[in-house]
Amino acid sequence: IEVLLRFFFYLFTSLLFFVVASSLLQPWHQPQKKSKVSASDVQSHINDLERINEQLLEIDQDLAAEIKAVQEKYNAKKRPLFEKRDKAASNIPNFWADIFESHPSFGEILSEFDLEVLQYMTDLKVTEGDNDAFKVEMFFKENPHFENASIFVNVTETDGAYDCQGSTIKWKSLRNEGEEAKKGDKRKSVEDLEEISFLSMFKDPMESLELLLLIKEDIYTEASGIFVRMM
């Protein structure tokens, strides 16, 4: 009896081992059949993705509109403070010259001629219009370089494309040869002056759009902060 029991025990365990081993090896020997997806099903899913994308774009547009409305609301609150700041700045010698010179981006591109011109700058105005349009205007006291009391650039935006129109700088006669030799100034023409000066952005504003945006979004709005950090 004991022998029979051992026989049946070994038989049972062998069968159990065979069943378990077969179940483990089955995926290798009997790969699952891939479900077939019809072309119409694929197109249906593509249509779903297109609808989802349209809904996401609508949300992004709503978000952009709300952000713009909030920005306009708080910009309106800032305007009276900008006016007070400008009034205070008008009583600080070389305020705007110091702001431009100390700005990390503008300070690197200003020439000696620019620094000289900026000594005569009295005010900076940035006026915002509809549809992201804006105007950058610089004001100057009487100076030996040009006749303009102010120079400006109007920037408009349509469907993501910018258009810029700048005022013409009315340059005065250049220094005479004696003065040029005395100061080591070898500039011979207005074109030379414009080439080396940031004022060229008023002549070719589209080429200087990045600088104009920098003035609008950084220098003008952060002028008081820049000045305070300089102290």
What pLDDT score was predicted for residue 147? 92
Task: Please state the length of the chain.
Answer: 231
What pLDDT score was predicted for residue 198? 81
Dihedrals phi, psi of 127, to nearest 5 degrees: -115, 125
Q: What is the CATH number of domain 93-230?
A: 3.30.1120.90
pTM exceeds 0.75 = no
CA pair distance 206, 164, nearest whole angstrom: 6
pLDDT tens sequence for the chain (231 residues): 555 555 555 655 665 555 555 655 555 555 555 667 788 889 899 999 999 999 999 999 999 999 989 988 998 999 999 999 999 999 999 999 999 999 988 888 888 889 999 999 999 999 988 878 999 999 999 999 889 999 999 999 887 788 888 888 888 865 444 444 344 454 445 556 666 678 877 777 677 788 889 999 999 999 999 999 888
As a whole number of angstroms, the longest Cα–Cα distance in the chain is 132
Domain positions in the chain are 45-89, 93-230
